[in-house]
């Protein structure tokens, strides 16, 4: 297997690469433009990198542009595409939505075009998000077939990318499978994300904002999942999933953001200072709760390899020992 991994120097991407290098004999071609979130230090600091580096190749390319002949030759042969390259931060998408259209929709079109022209392509895994379904009221778990209702530019562009990938499956018989991933955490995450953001503020003695409903009671919640579990789920979908289908990759349990912040501070051995903020007035385009139904994966035999508690504790302790990743 020779894997073309877009966004391979990104947070989730490098964990996926690490998993495939450790658990398969695959060769991995990293395709990345190295800007906001791409960082080659993630790759070089991964476990057993020196042992596996001979099976890796890095190609620099910005998917906002078509993949030209020179880049194609640099990539070489591949039979599997894991398409993770994307802009992901909601706040940035609200300030500047158009770049997200280029990155997430146009960029996906260009990698789909490259894949369409590739002989003997075995699989194309499209990474999507729980946010394409929009807000999930308490008691709601979105299934893979539920209607899309994106509430911000980021989630709208991810919905567009997913639908485009499935259209290529229908029109060109491209072997597309989709995974919907929830809030991911882990080592070497960008400091704008919740777990490293909480850690940074706690270390500085600053106040962490915890967003809530206007009544001040309902706190935002997510099914947090470690990137190692996401990587294992991708391999599972490749082996057990059906072409043309979508699969929800769900965390072990739902955790509200107040609890999550306290857990992080607890593993740090420090005190959390926090303030409740009404998300409606301070975070337009954000939703308090996202939730997916994981029964489809469960029925196929999927089980999380690593528990939520063990994952979070390891992430916090590792990051405490490597504070340069907190920005």
Catalytic positions, written as ranges: 130-131, 154
CA-closest candidate to residue 190, choices 182, 199, 202: 199
**Lookup result for tokens 């009404």:** 278
Q: Give how far the C-alpha of residue 9 lies from the chain's centroid of Cα atoms, to the nearest Å.
A: 12
Task: To the nearest 10°, report the CA torsion of 322, 323, 326, 327.
Answer: -110
Number of helical H runs and strand E runs in the chain: 14, 13
The set of residues, in sequence order, having a beta carbon less than 8 Å from that of 311 and lying 6+ positions away, is: 185, 186, 225, 226, 228, 229
Residues 9 and 30: their CA atoms lie apart, in Å, by 7
Q: Give the DSSP H or E segment for 185.
A: strand 184-185
Q: How far, in Å, are 17, 129, 180, 226, 324 from residue 47 at the CA level?
A: 11, 27, 26, 16, 18
């Amino acid at each position: 297997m020779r894997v073309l991994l877009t966004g391979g120097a990104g947070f989730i991407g490098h964990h996926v690469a690490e998993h495939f290098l450790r658990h398969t004999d695959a060769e991995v071609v990293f395709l990345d433009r190295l800007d906001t979130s791409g960082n080659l230090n993630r790759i070089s600091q991964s476990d057993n990198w020196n042992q596996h580096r001979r099976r890796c190749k890095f190609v620099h390319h910005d998917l906002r542009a078509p993949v030209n002949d020179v880049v194609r030759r640099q990539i070489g042969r591949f039979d599997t595409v894991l398409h993770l390259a994307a802009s992901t931060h909601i706040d940035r998408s609200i300030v500047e939505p158009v770049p997200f259209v280029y990155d997430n929709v146009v960029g996906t079109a260009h990698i789909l075009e490259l894949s369409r022209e590739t002989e003997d392509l075995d699989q194309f895994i499209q990474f999507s998000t729980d946010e394409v379904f929009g807000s999930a009221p308490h008691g709601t778990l979105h299934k893979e077939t539920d209607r899309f209702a994106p509430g911000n530019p980021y989630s709208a562009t991810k919905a567009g990318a997913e639908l485009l990938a499935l259209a290529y499956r229908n029109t060109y018989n491209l072997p597309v499978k989709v995974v919907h991933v929830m809030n991911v955490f882990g080592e070497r995450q960008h400091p704008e994300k919740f777990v490293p953001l909480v850690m940074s503020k706690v270390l500085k003695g600053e106040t962490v904002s915890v967003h809530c409903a206007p009544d001040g009671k309902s706190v935002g919640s997510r099914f947090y999942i470690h990137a190692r579990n996401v990587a294992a789920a991708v391999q599972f979908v490749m082996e057990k999933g059906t072409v043309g289908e979508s699969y929800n990759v769900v965390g072990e349990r739902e955790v509200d953001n107040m609890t999550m912040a306290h857990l992080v501070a607890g593993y740090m051995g420090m005190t959390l200072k926090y303030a409740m903020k009404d998300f409606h007035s301070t975070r337009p385009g954000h939703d308090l709760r996202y939730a997916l139904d994981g029964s489809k994966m469960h029925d196929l035999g999927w089980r999380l390899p690593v528990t939520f508690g063990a994952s979070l504790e390891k992430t916090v302790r590792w990051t405490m020992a490597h504070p340069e990743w907190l920005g």
